[in-house]
Structure 1
Amino acid sequence: MRILIYSPQFSPQVGGVEVVTEQLARAWVALGATVVVLCHTPDPQGQQYPFAVLRNPHPWRWLRAVQWCDLVVYSCISLKGLWPLLLTGKPWAAIHHTWYRRPDGSLGWPERLKLAVMPWARLHIGVSGAIAAHLPVPARVIENPYADDVFYQISPPGERSQTLIFVGRLVSDKGVDLLITALANLGQRGLHPDLTIIGAGPELPHLQNQVITAGLQSQVQFLGELPPQAVAAQLNQHQILIIPSRWQEPFGIVALEGMACGCVVIGSAGGGLKDAIGPGGMTFPNGDVIQLEEAIATLLTQPHTRTQYHQAAQSHLQAHRRQAIAHQYLQAFQEHR
């Protein structure tokens, strides 16, 4: 099968959609498909892939790529990338990684146009049940894979020297300030776990000041951005991964990465994050610092509960391995060619 993936942003740019697109492309090639990725992201280093990457192609080259393929797959609907379909009538599918609405929940004209063109697609795939339910058209749910060649368990969960870890962008939506508040509250209960924060973003100075004000300098360390292999190494040193997002996460690959490295996960319940966590951890209402504190306290004081979550996560992880998810996609594509 010849697949053309249209992903406006792609590696070396780093983001959830970019990572998943590359993982799926690699897996589809390994399963026998011929894949081309078309994007608008430059790559000065000229990284090599087991598939072709067309970066900012001339419109004529773009059109030829669409004519060549059996199916065009859009990593989210992009209005900029729809014009070749009008000229060729080529069948297309859309993978929906996020919400088609503004942060305040309203719809602007770009969102309305994207929703209006959805009936033209042969197939819609939502990366979580929450995303699929948000769409105005029927959609199959195929959850995201994780990089099982990078994120895997090295050290036994019961032999780890560090406790809590957060991995993600340091922006207000991610709720790291809630986690620091919960950490301070736990101290009043005689619980003093350490916390490692991995990531960068505009909230970093505020979070550092919050740690100082709360007197938590001895418990909290900021490591900045790290490459995937280093993130995996850190996850393998910690017991509990916290994902305290305020906003409704569309999915949450970091939950799978944490569980694969042996962490139990605590995450906010809204959106698709609960689907990513599955049986491998606990959830709490978005923005509820009291319930977050209670969840952390439960896992700190009940080691057997951590063991139960860790054991329950194994089948969930198996279902989200890259090849397993890629196979589901190819099966769906064959059904809708």
Structure 2
Amino acid sequence: MGGIEVASATLAEQYVEKGHDVTVISSTPNVSPKHNFPFEVVWHPSPLELVRLVLGHDVVHQYNPSLRTLWAPMVCQRPVVCTVATWVRDSSGRRRLRDSVKLRALSRCNTVAISNAVADHLGQNDIPVIYPSFRAGQFPNVPSSPERSPSIVFVGRLVADKGVSDLLSALSLLPEGRSIPVSIIGDGPEAEALKGQTLHLGLENVSFLGAIHEPHRLMSIMAQHSVMAIPSKWNEPFGIVGLEALRAGCVPVISSEGGLSEAVGDFGIPFSNGSIEQLCTSLEAALSVPPPDPAAIALHLEQFTPEREANAYLNIMAALIGRNES
């Protein structure tokens, strides 16, 4: 499942644990029927079935606005909470007609943003921010290891927006960059081009490990590195990977625009998106600092627990239901 699907499933599980009846509606057909969710899932409902489902529930929570389904609670006059999890614009930064329609619809919803960066982007007043949750429990505890040798890890899709090409270019500018151990975890359409760039730049110690889906193995590999590079060219709306970096005891080097800085707080070392020179400087700084304090990290990560996220949404929903019944 992708990020929005995982976030939706996490919240639905929390709502069930807290005693609520939950139905999850997916606008896509069920291509893998072997699921064992603790809630009902309705796949690709017809418009009539969608209306029936909405009328059978007290409140609707849509995680990221979709015009294909958002019309139903509005027509049925059911309270709706809509979480905006990314930018309402195209990849070039332009707002298309459907983006304008989404924003108009959101102005009639109880909108929540996943970061202050997204809330500011929406241009509405007083949009509450509820940070996405991080399932720290699925990762093993990482012992403090101040003896980690300087090394860098990247975790993510190998696509142009994630900035791995910039990372390789920045490494070539570091005095020790050609020999420093670097692990690239992930796969994607840029993989072969990035491997070619690595050879061209003479980076001797870069390993492409492919995608790793097993949490314990992923955390074990991340925890062997002192720095995690998150060199996104685009503005990340938030950045769960930054929380994973902290859980692994890495110093995060982050692009400064967007919501990544909200995820990692004061633990991150920022650079301007797309600036290879600044990325090089930030990597050099990160490689020379001690690992973040485990107690401080644990305190920071408490902001991002599934229970805290779910309670924040349930408080909003309870107020809406009470208002609707009065």
**Superposition TM-score, scaled by structure 2 size:** 0.91
Q: Say how many residue pairs are matched.
A: 318
CA pair 159-192 structure 1, distance change in 2 beyond 3 A: same
Residue number among 201, 206, 209 corresponding to 1:220 in the alignment = 206
Partners of 1:89 and 1:262 lie apart in 2 by: 47
The range that moved more, 243-252 or 34-43, is 34-43
The range that moved more, 193-202 or 312-321, is 312-321
Residue number among 78, 82, 90 corresponding to 1:90 in the alignment = 78
Shift of 1:109: 1.1
CA pair 157-335 structure 1, distance change in 2 beyond 3 A: farther
Amino acid at match of 1:314: A
Partners of 2:177 and 2:103 lie apart in 1 by: 51
Counterpart contact for 1:155–1:237, Cα < 8 Å: no
Q: 1:272 maps to which residue?
A: 259
RMSD: 1.9
Shift of 1:168: 0.7
Shift of 1:152: 4.4
CA pair 190-285 structure 1, distance change in 2 beyond 3 A: closer
Shift of 1:314: 2.6
Shift of 1:159: 4.4
Q: Does 2:309 correspond to 1:307?
A: no
**Following superposition, which runs of at least 4 residues in structure 1 exceed 6 angstroms of deviation?**
none
Amino acid at match of 1:119: S
Partners of 1:145 and 1:241 lie apart in 2 by: 20
CA pair 43-284 structure 1, distance change in 2 beyond 3 A: same
Partners of 2:233 and 2:32 lie apart in 1 by: 36
Q: Does 2:68 correspond to 1:80?
A: yes
Partners of 1:82 and 1:318 lie apart in 2 by: 32
Q: 1:327 maps to which residue?
A: 311
Counterpart contact for 1:278–1:313, Cα < 8 Å: no
Specify the SS of the correspondent of 1:149. helix
Q: 2:21 maps to which residue?
A: 34
Q: Does 2:119 correspond to 1:132?
A: yes
Partners of 1:108 and 1:205 lie apart in 2 by: 33
Q: 1:6 maps to which residue?
A: none
Identity %: 34
Counterpart contact for 1:128–1:141, Cα < 8 Å: yes
Q: 1:170 maps to which residue?
A: 158
Shift of 1:190: 7.2
Specify the SS of the correspondent of 1:333. helix
Q: 2:186 maps to which residue?
A: 199
Q: Does 2:301 correspond to 1:317?
A: yes
Specify the SS of the correspondent of 2:243. helix
Counterpart contact for 1:118–1:137, Cα < 8 Å: no
Trace 1:49-64 onto structure 2 (pairs within 5 A): 49-64=37-52
For residues 236-295 of structure 1, the C-alpha deviation after alignment (integer angstroms, 9 at most, x for no partner) is 222211100011110001111121122221110001111111122211111111221112
Q: 1:211 maps to which residue?
A: 198
For residues 50-79 of structure 1, the C-alpha deviation after alignment (integer angstroms, 9 at most, x for no partner) is 111111123333222101111111111111
Q: 2:107 maps to which residue?
A: 119
CA pair 60-168 structure 1, distance change in 2 beyond 3 A: same
Counterpart contact for 1:150–1:232, Cα < 8 Å: no
CA pair 86-335 structure 1, distance change in 2 beyond 3 A: closer
**Superposition TM-score, scaled by structure 1 size:** 0.88
Shift of 1:107: 1.5
Partners of 1:330 and 1:30 lie apart in 2 by: 12
Structure 1 alignment gaps of length 5 or more: 1-13
Partners of 2:247 and 2:317 lie apart in 1 by: 28
Amino acid at match of 1:95: T
Specify the SS of the correspondent of 1:180. helix
The range that moved more, 158-167 or 90-99, is 158-167
Q: 1:4 maps to which residue?
A: none
Specify the SS of the correspondent of 2:151. strand
Partners of 2:311 and 2:181 lie apart in 1 by: 40
Partners of 2:177 and 2:207 lie apart in 1 by: 20
CA pair 256-197 structure 1, distance change in 2 beyond 3 A: same
For residues 10-52 of structure 1, the C-alpha deviation after alignment (integer angstroms, 9 at most, x for no partner) is xxxx322112111111122222222211003324242111111
Amino acid at match of 1:69: H
Counterpart contact for 2:59–2:78, Cα < 8 Å: yes
Residue number among 263, 275, 280 corresponding to 1:293 in the alignment = 280
Shift of 1:189: 5.0
Partners of 2:165 and 2:236 lie apart in 1 by: 17
Partners of 2:178 and 2:285 lie apart in 1 by: 11
Q: 1:9 maps to which residue?
A: none
Trace 1:225-236 onto structure 2 (pairs within 5 A): 225-229=211-215, 230-236=217-223
Structure 2 alignment gaps of length 5 or more: 322-326
Shift of 1:213: 0.6
Residue number among 155, 169, 176 corresponding to 1:181 in the alignment = 169
